[in-house]
Protein backbone atom coordinates (compact mmCIF):
# COMPACT_ATOMS: atom_id res chain seq x y z
CA UNK A 1 0.00 0.00 0.00
CA UNK A 2 1.40 3.40 -1.01
CA UNK A 3 2.15 6.17 1.47
CA UNK A 4 -0.63 8.42 0.18
CA UNK A 5 -3.19 5.62 0.51
CA UNK A 6 -1.99 4.81 4.04
CA UNK A 7 -2.37 8.44 5.06
CA UNK A 8 -5.82 8.68 3.48
CA UNK A 9 -7.05 5.62 5.36
CA UNK A 10 -6.21 7.13 8.77
CA UNK A 11 -9.29 8.20 10.72
CA UNK A 12 -9.95 11.92 11.11
CA UNK A 13 -11.99 11.36 14.28
CA UNK A 14 -9.92 12.36 17.32
CA UNK A 15 -11.63 9.71 19.47
CA UNK A 16 -10.11 7.09 17.17
CA UNK A 17 -6.69 8.74 17.05
CA UNK A 18 -3.63 6.81 18.16
CA UNK A 19 -1.29 8.66 20.53
CA UNK A 20 2.19 8.18 19.07
CA UNK A 21 5.23 8.86 21.24
CA UNK A 22 8.49 9.41 19.35
CA UNK A 23 11.93 9.55 20.94
CA UNK A 24 14.30 12.02 19.29
CA UNK A 25 17.27 9.66 19.35
CA UNK A 26 20.80 11.01 18.91
CA UNK A 27 20.38 14.65 17.89
CA UNK A 28 23.68 14.61 15.99
CA UNK A 29 22.31 11.83 13.78
CA UNK A 30 19.46 11.85 11.28
CA UNK A 31 16.69 11.19 13.82
CA UNK A 32 15.41 14.80 14.09
CA UNK A 33 15.56 15.21 10.31
CA UNK A 34 13.50 12.14 9.47
CA UNK A 35 10.96 13.03 12.17
CA UNK A 36 10.44 16.48 10.68
CA UNK A 37 10.27 15.16 7.12
CA UNK A 38 7.73 12.53 8.18
CA UNK A 39 5.33 15.07 9.66
CA UNK A 40 5.75 17.92 7.20
CA UNK A 41 2.77 16.40 5.35
CA UNK A 42 -0.39 17.65 7.10
CA UNK A 43 -2.19 14.41 6.27
CA UNK A 44 0.09 12.60 8.73
CA UNK A 45 -1.99 14.13 11.54
CA UNK A 46 -5.15 12.32 10.44
CA UNK A 47 -5.80 9.72 13.13
CA UNK A 48 -2.37 10.32 14.66
CA UNK A 49 -1.40 12.45 17.66
CA UNK A 50 2.42 12.61 17.46
CA UNK A 51 4.45 13.74 20.45
CA UNK A 52 8.25 13.94 20.28
CA UNK A 53 10.26 13.51 23.45
CA UNK A 54 13.39 15.57 23.00
CA UNK A 55 14.48 19.16 22.51
CA UNK A 56 12.56 22.04 20.93
CA UNK A 57 15.89 23.77 20.27
CA UNK A 58 17.19 20.76 18.32
CA UNK A 59 14.06 20.34 16.24
CA UNK A 60 13.94 24.04 15.39
CA UNK A 61 17.61 23.90 14.43
CA UNK A 62 16.94 21.12 11.92
CA UNK A 63 13.70 22.73 10.80
CA UNK A 64 15.63 25.84 9.80
CA UNK A 65 18.40 23.75 8.25
CA UNK A 66 15.82 21.96 6.08
CA UNK A 67 14.09 25.21 5.12
CA UNK A 68 10.81 24.23 6.74
CA UNK A 69 10.13 27.71 8.11
CA UNK A 70 6.34 27.22 8.23
CA UNK A 71 6.53 23.91 10.10
CA UNK A 72 4.79 24.36 13.47
CA UNK A 73 6.40 22.92 16.60
CA UNK A 74 4.50 23.24 19.89
CA UNK A 75 6.33 22.99 23.20
CA UNK A 76 4.33 21.18 25.92
CA UNK A 77 5.04 20.08 29.48
CA UNK A 78 3.21 16.75 29.20
CA UNK A 79 1.21 14.78 26.66
CA UNK A 80 -2.13 15.75 28.20
CA UNK A 81 -1.62 19.21 26.67
CA UNK A 82 -1.90 17.87 23.11
CA UNK A 83 -4.15 20.05 20.96
CA UNK A 84 -4.40 20.67 17.26
CA UNK A 85 -2.77 19.12 14.23
CA UNK A 86 0.87 19.98 14.74
CA UNK A 87 4.00 18.34 16.06
CA UNK A 88 4.10 18.53 19.85
CA UNK A 89 7.35 18.30 21.79
CA UNK A 90 7.78 17.34 25.42
CA UNK A 91 10.97 19.30 26.08
CA UNK A 92 13.38 16.97 27.91
CA UNK A 93 16.41 19.26 27.90
CA UNK A 94 18.64 21.48 25.79
CA UNK A 95 21.95 20.54 24.15
CA UNK A 96 25.13 22.43 24.85
CA UNK A 97 26.11 22.18 21.18
CA UNK A 98 24.57 20.63 18.05
CA UNK A 99 27.26 19.03 15.87
CA UNK A 100 25.65 16.91 13.12
CA UNK A 101 27.70 13.84 12.28
CA UNK A 102 29.72 13.84 15.50
CA UNK A 103 28.79 11.62 18.45
CA UNK A 104 28.90 13.18 21.90
CA UNK A 105 28.12 12.19 25.47
CA UNK A 106 25.74 15.14 25.70
CA UNK A 107 23.74 13.77 22.77
CA UNK A 108 23.80 10.31 24.34
CA UNK A 109 22.52 11.67 27.66
CA UNK A 110 19.63 13.52 26.02
CA UNK A 111 18.78 10.46 23.91
CA UNK A 112 18.48 8.38 27.08
CA UNK A 113 16.36 11.00 28.88
CA UNK A 114 14.08 11.08 25.86
CA UNK A 115 13.72 7.30 25.95
CA UNK A 116 13.23 7.20 29.72
CA UNK A 117 10.42 9.78 29.72
CA UNK A 118 8.66 8.24 26.72
CA UNK A 119 8.83 4.80 28.34
CA UNK A 120 7.30 6.21 31.53
CA UNK A 121 4.41 7.71 29.58
CA UNK A 122 3.93 4.49 27.66
CA UNK A 123 3.80 2.49 30.90
CA UNK A 124 1.16 4.85 32.30
CA UNK A 125 -0.85 4.65 29.01
CA UNK A 126 -0.45 8.35 28.28
CA UNK A 127 0.67 7.28 24.80
CA UNK A 128 -0.41 4.20 22.86
CA UNK A 129 2.72 3.27 20.89
CA UNK A 130 6.41 4.12 20.90
CA UNK A 131 8.62 4.98 17.91
CA UNK A 132 12.34 5.17 18.65
CA UNK A 133 14.67 7.22 16.48
CA UNK A 134 18.24 5.86 16.17
CA UNK A 135 20.73 6.14 19.03
CA UNK A 136 24.49 5.84 19.11
CA UNK A 137 24.97 2.70 21.19
CA UNK A 138 28.31 3.91 22.52
CA UNK A 139 27.60 7.49 23.56
CA UNK A 140 24.30 6.57 25.26
CA UNK A 141 26.03 4.21 27.70
CA UNK A 142 25.86 5.34 31.34
CA UNK A 143 25.14 4.05 34.83
CA UNK A 144 21.43 4.11 33.89
CA UNK A 145 21.77 2.62 30.42
CA UNK A 146 24.00 -0.43 30.13
CA UNK A 147 22.31 -2.21 27.24
CA UNK A 148 23.31 -3.18 23.68
CA UNK A 149 20.29 -1.27 22.35
CA UNK A 150 16.64 -0.26 22.67
CA UNK A 151 15.40 -3.86 22.56
CA UNK A 152 17.13 -5.01 25.72
CA UNK A 153 16.27 -1.84 27.63
CA UNK A 154 12.57 -2.08 26.79
CA UNK A 155 12.51 -5.78 27.68
CA UNK A 156 13.83 -5.00 31.15
CA UNK A 157 11.46 -2.07 31.61
CA UNK A 158 8.59 -4.35 30.60
CA UNK A 159 9.68 -7.09 33.03
CA UNK A 160 9.96 -9.50 30.12
CA UNK A 161 12.65 -12.18 30.19
CA UNK A 162 12.81 -12.59 26.44
CA UNK A 163 11.69 -10.76 23.32
CA UNK A 164 12.38 -10.91 19.60
CA UNK A 165 14.01 -8.42 17.27
CA UNK A 166 11.78 -8.56 14.19
CA UNK A 167 12.57 -6.68 10.98
CA UNK A 168 9.49 -6.25 8.83
CA UNK A 169 8.23 -4.79 5.60
CA UNK A 170 4.97 -5.34 3.73
CA UNK A 171 6.16 -8.72 2.46
CA UNK A 172 9.05 -9.79 4.70
CA UNK A 173 9.34 -10.49 8.44
CA UNK A 174 12.71 -11.64 9.77
CA UNK A 175 13.42 -12.43 13.43
CA UNK A 176 16.80 -13.27 14.94
CA UNK A 177 17.62 -15.83 17.63
CA UNK A 178 20.78 -14.08 18.85
CA UNK A 179 20.48 -10.32 18.51
CA UNK A 180 23.29 -8.04 19.67
CA UNK A 181 25.81 -10.84 20.25
CA UNK A 182 29.41 -10.86 18.92
CA UNK A 183 29.78 -13.24 15.99
CA UNK A 184 32.42 -15.30 17.80
CA UNK A 185 29.85 -16.09 20.52
CA UNK A 186 26.89 -16.99 18.31
CA UNK A 187 27.41 -20.76 18.04
CA UNK A 188 27.95 -21.20 21.78
CA UNK A 189 24.85 -19.09 22.47
CA UNK A 190 22.52 -21.37 20.52
CA UNK A 191 20.47 -23.86 22.51
CA UNK A 192 17.38 -25.87 21.72
CA UNK A 193 15.46 -24.01 24.42
CA UNK A 194 16.56 -20.62 23.14
CA UNK A 195 15.71 -21.34 19.51
CA UNK A 196 12.31 -22.76 20.44
CA UNK A 197 11.50 -19.73 22.57
CA UNK A 198 12.34 -17.33 19.75
CA UNK A 199 10.30 -19.42 17.30
CA UNK A 200 7.34 -19.36 19.66
CA UNK A 201 7.65 -15.59 20.06
CA UNK A 202 7.65 -15.24 16.27
CA UNK A 203 4.59 -17.46 15.89
CA UNK A 204 2.70 -15.66 18.67
CA UNK A 205 3.54 -12.23 17.23
CA UNK A 206 2.45 -13.21 13.73
CA UNK A 207 -0.86 -14.34 15.19
CA UNK A 208 -1.50 -11.52 17.67
CA UNK A 209 0.17 -8.58 15.93
CA UNK A 210 -0.28 -9.42 12.25
CA UNK A 211 -3.41 -11.57 12.12
CA UNK A 212 -1.97 -14.82 10.72
CA UNK A 213 -4.10 -17.59 12.19
CA UNK A 214 -1.55 -20.33 11.41
CA UNK A 215 1.68 -18.69 10.22
CA UNK A 216 4.18 -20.50 8.02
CA UNK A 217 7.73 -20.16 9.39
CA UNK A 218 11.13 -20.77 7.77
CA UNK A 219 14.13 -21.47 10.02
CA UNK A 220 17.64 -20.79 8.72
CA UNK A 221 20.67 -22.92 9.53
CA UNK A 222 23.78 -21.54 11.18
CA UNK A 223 26.52 -22.92 8.95
CA UNK A 224 27.21 -22.65 5.20
CA UNK A 225 24.86 -24.96 3.28
CA UNK A 226 22.98 -25.49 6.57
CA UNK A 227 25.86 -27.70 7.73
CA UNK A 228 25.86 -30.09 4.74
CA UNK A 229 24.54 -32.90 6.91
CA UNK A 230 27.20 -32.33 9.54
CA UNK A 231 30.14 -31.84 7.20
CA UNK A 232 30.34 -28.09 7.88
CA UNK A 233 29.08 -28.04 11.44
CA UNK A 234 26.85 -30.03 13.76
CA UNK A 235 24.53 -27.26 15.03
CA UNK A 236 21.82 -28.04 12.48
CA UNK A 237 21.68 -31.77 13.24
CA UNK A 238 22.08 -31.46 17.00
CA UNK A 239 20.29 -28.23 17.90
CA UNK A 240 18.28 -26.52 15.15
CA UNK A 241 16.58 -29.38 13.29
CA UNK A 242 15.36 -31.15 16.45
CA UNK A 243 13.57 -27.94 17.45
CA UNK A 244 11.92 -27.74 14.03
CA UNK A 245 10.69 -31.34 14.37
CA UNK A 246 9.39 -30.63 17.86
CA UNK A 247 7.44 -27.58 16.72
CA UNK A 248 5.98 -29.55 13.81
CA UNK A 249 4.82 -32.24 16.22
CA UNK A 250 3.06 -29.50 18.18
CA UNK A 251 1.12 -28.57 15.06
CA UNK A 252 3.05 -25.54 13.85
CA UNK A 253 3.98 -24.89 10.21
CA UNK A 254 7.74 -24.66 10.71
CA UNK A 255 10.20 -25.67 7.99
CA UNK A 256 13.97 -25.85 7.52
CA UNK A 257 16.70 -25.60 8.24
CA UNK A 258 17.53 -23.64 5.11
CA UNK A 259 20.90 -22.46 3.84
CA UNK A 260 20.63 -18.68 4.14
CA UNK A 261 22.29 -17.78 0.84
CA UNK A 262 20.09 -19.96 -1.35
CA UNK A 263 17.01 -19.12 0.67
CA UNK A 264 17.25 -15.38 0.07
CA UNK A 265 18.85 -15.80 -3.35
CA UNK A 266 15.72 -17.50 -4.65
CA UNK A 267 12.11 -16.38 -4.32
CA UNK A 268 11.26 -19.05 -1.74
CA UNK A 269 11.36 -16.47 1.07
CA UNK A 270 8.20 -14.92 -0.42
CA UNK A 271 6.21 -18.06 0.44
CA UNK A 272 6.67 -17.69 4.22
CA UNK A 273 4.92 -15.46 6.73
CA UNK A 274 7.99 -15.25 8.96
CA UNK A 275 11.68 -16.17 8.88
CA UNK A 276 13.87 -17.02 11.86
CA UNK A 277 17.59 -16.33 11.41
CA UNK A 278 20.24 -17.57 13.82
CA UNK A 279 22.17 -14.33 14.21
CA UNK A 280 21.98 -10.60 13.58
CA UNK A 281 23.72 -10.14 10.22
CA UNK A 282 22.37 -13.39 8.78
CA UNK A 283 18.89 -11.89 8.96
CA UNK A 284 19.50 -8.17 8.70
CA UNK A 285 21.85 -8.07 5.70
CA UNK A 286 19.41 -9.75 3.28
CA UNK A 287 16.48 -7.89 4.83
CA UNK A 288 18.10 -4.50 4.26
CA UNK A 289 19.23 -5.51 0.78
CA UNK A 290 15.63 -6.35 -0.10
CA UNK A 291 13.69 -3.76 1.88
CA UNK A 292 15.95 -0.86 2.85
CA UNK A 293 14.18 2.50 3.39
CA UNK A 294 10.85 0.72 3.75
CA UNK A 295 11.77 -1.69 6.54
CA UNK A 296 10.92 -1.34 10.22
CA UNK A 297 12.46 -2.78 13.37
CA UNK A 298 9.75 -4.16 15.69
CA UNK A 299 10.26 -5.63 19.16
CA UNK A 300 7.95 -8.65 19.36
CA UNK A 301 7.01 -10.29 22.64
CA UNK A 302 6.56 -7.10 24.67
CA UNK A 303 3.28 -5.96 26.26
CA UNK A 304 3.80 -2.60 24.51
CA UNK A 305 4.11 -1.68 20.82
CA UNK A 306 7.50 -0.32 19.80
CA UNK A 307 8.85 0.18 16.30
CA UNK A 308 11.89 1.93 14.89
CA UNK A 309 13.35 2.79 11.48
CA UNK A 310 15.64 0.03 10.24
CA UNK A 311 18.64 2.39 9.92
CA UNK A 312 21.11 3.87 12.38
CA UNK A 313 22.25 7.41 13.15
CA UNK A 314 23.83 7.74 9.68
CA UNK A 315 26.38 10.28 10.88
CA UNK A 316 27.84 10.47 7.39
CA UNK A 317 24.79 12.32 6.03
CA UNK A 318 23.51 13.97 9.23
CA UNK A 319 22.73 17.65 8.81
CA UNK A 320 22.94 17.52 5.01
CA UNK A 321 19.23 17.18 4.28
CA UNK A 322 19.81 13.87 2.48
CA UNK A 323 18.16 11.41 4.90
CA UNK A 324 15.22 9.39 3.59
CA UNK A 325 12.25 9.52 5.96
CA UNK A 326 10.34 6.59 4.45
CA UNK A 327 11.43 4.09 7.10
CA UNK A 328 10.41 6.46 9.93
CA UNK A 329 7.04 7.09 8.30
CA UNK A 330 6.52 3.37 7.83
CA UNK A 331 7.49 2.77 11.47
CA UNK A 332 4.65 5.06 12.50
CA UNK A 333 2.14 3.29 10.26
CA UNK A 334 3.26 -0.18 11.34
CA UNK A 335 3.03 0.69 15.03
CA UNK A 336 -0.53 1.92 14.54
CA UNK A 337 -1.43 -1.16 12.50
CA UNK A 338 -0.12 -3.47 15.24
CA UNK A 339 -1.81 -1.46 18.01
CA UNK A 340 -5.16 -1.72 16.26
CA UNK A 341 -4.64 -5.38 15.35
CA UNK A 342 -3.89 -6.22 18.99
CA UNK A 343 -7.02 -4.37 20.10
CA UNK A 344 -9.10 -6.25 17.55
CA UNK A 345 -7.68 -9.64 18.54
CA UNK A 346 -8.30 -8.91 22.23
CA UNK A 347 -11.86 -7.91 21.46
CA UNK A 348 -12.79 -10.96 19.43
CA UNK A 349 -11.12 -13.40 21.85
CA UNK A 350 -12.39 -11.84 25.09
CA UNK A 351 -15.67 -13.80 25.14
CA UNK A 352 -15.37 -16.67 22.66
CA UNK A 353 -18.47 -18.66 21.87
CA UNK A 354 -18.61 -21.87 23.81
CA UNK A 355 -18.79 -25.06 21.82
CA UNK A 356 -21.86 -27.08 22.66
CA UNK A 357 -21.87 -30.82 22.41
CA UNK A 358 -24.69 -32.10 20.21
CA UNK A 359 -26.85 -34.79 21.72
CA UNK A 360 -28.77 -37.48 19.97
CA UNK A 361 -32.38 -37.98 20.95
Q: Give the DSSP H or E segment for 32.
A: helix 31-38
Q: Are residues 211 and 256 in the same domain?
A: yes
Most confident of 40-44, 148-152, 203-207: 203-207
Q: Are residues 59 and 170 in the same domain?
A: no
pLDDT, one tens digit per residue, over 110-138 is 999 999 999 999 999 999 999 999 999 99
Residue 286 half-sphere exposure toward CB, CA atoms < 13 A: 23
Residue 356 lies in a domain: no
**71 against 229, higher pLDDT:** 71
Residue 117 lies in a domain: yes
Mean pLDDT of 268-292: 92
CATH of the domain at 80: 3.40.718.10
Query: 212 Cβ partners below 8 Å, 6+ apart?
Result: 206, 273
Q: 357 pLDDT exceeds 70? A: no
pLDDT of residue 291: 85
- Do you find a cis peptide bond into 266, omega within 30 degrees of 0? no
Is 146 buried (19+), middle (13-18) or exposed (0-12) by CB count in 10 A? exposed
Q: 13 pLDDT exceeds 70? A: no
Residue 359 lies in a domain: no
Per-residue confidence band for 340, with pLDDT thresholds at 50, 70 and 90: very high
C-alpha 132/C-alpha 13 separation (Å) is 25
Q: What's the chain's average pLDDT? A: 88
Per-residue confidence band for 11, with pLDDT thresholds at 50, 70 and 90: very low
Q: 293 pLDDT exceeds 80? A: no
Q: How far is the CA of 156 from the CAs of 25, 130, 162, in angstroms?
A: 19, 16, 9
Residue 40 lies in a domain: yes
Query: Which is it for the CA torsion 172, 178, 180, 182, positive or negative?
Result: negative
C-alpha 275/C-alpha 252 separation (Å) is 14
- Per this entry, what is the length of the chain? 361
Residue 357 lies in a domain: no
Q: Are residues 192 and 75 in the same domain?
A: no
Q: 24 pLDDT exceeds 70? A: yes
Q: Are residues 137 and 219 in the same domain?
A: no
**86 against 240, higher pLDDT:** 240
pLDDT of residue 7: 37
Q: 292 pLDDT exceeds 80? A: no
pLDDT, one tens digit per residue, over 167-195 is 999 889 999 999 888 889 999 999 999 99
Q: 244 pLDDT exceeds 80? A: yes
Q: Are residues 192 and 149 in the same domain?
A: no
Q: How far is CA 75 from the centre of its chain?
A: 27
Mean pLDDT of 138-144: 92
Q: Are residues 150 and 230 in the same domain?
A: no
Q: Are residues 115 and 257 in the same domain?
A: no
Q: Are residues 172 and 142 in the same domain?
A: no
Q: 164 pLDDT exceeds 60? A: yes
Q: 221 pLDDT exceeds 90? A: yes
Q: Are residues 84 and 104 in the same domain?
A: yes
pLDDT of residue 48: 92
Q: Are residues 10 and 125 in the same domain?
A: yes
Query: 255 Cβ partners below 8 Å, 6+ apart?
Result: 216, 217, 218, 219, 244, 272
Per-residue confidence band for 241, with pLDDT thresholds at 50, 70 and 90: very high
3-state DSSP call for residue 91? Answer: strand
Where is the domain boundary, 293, 314, 340? 293
Query: 165 Cβ partners below 8 Å, 6+ apart?
Result: 151, 175, 176, 179, 280, 297, 299, 300
Query: Which is it for the CA torsion 231, 232, 237, 241, positive or negative?
Result: negative
Phi and psi at residue 164, in whole multiples of 5°? -130, 125
pLDDT of residue 4: 39
pLDDT of residue 15: 58
Residue 355 lies in a domain: no
pLDDT, one tens digit per residue, over 303-323 is 999 999 989 999 999 999 999
Q: Which domain holds residue 170?
A: 164-293
3-state DSSP call for residue 348? Answer: helix
Residue 360 lies in a domain: no
Q: Are residues 306 and 176 in the same domain?
A: no
Query: 219 Cβ partners below 8 Å, 6+ apart?
Result: 195, 199, 240, 243, 244, 254, 255, 256, 257, 258, 275, 276
Q: Give the DSSP H or E segment for 175.
A: strand 173-178
Question: For 231, which DSSP code?
Answer: T
Q: Are residues 139 and 14 in the same domain?
A: yes
Residue 358 lies in a domain: no
User: How many independent structural domains does the chain possess?
Assistant: 2
What's the farthest any 2 CA atoms get from each other in the chain? 84
Amino acid sequence: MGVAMQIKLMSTNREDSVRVGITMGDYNGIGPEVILKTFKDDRMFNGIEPVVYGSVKVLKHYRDLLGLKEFSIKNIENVEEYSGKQLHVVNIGEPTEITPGKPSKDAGKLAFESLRKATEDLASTKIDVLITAPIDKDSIQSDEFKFPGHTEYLAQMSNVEDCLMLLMSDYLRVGVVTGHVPLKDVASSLTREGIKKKAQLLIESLQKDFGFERPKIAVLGLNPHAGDNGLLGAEEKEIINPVIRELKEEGHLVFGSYAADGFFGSSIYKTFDGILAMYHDQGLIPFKALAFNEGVNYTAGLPIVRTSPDHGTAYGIAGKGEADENSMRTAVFKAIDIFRKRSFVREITANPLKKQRSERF
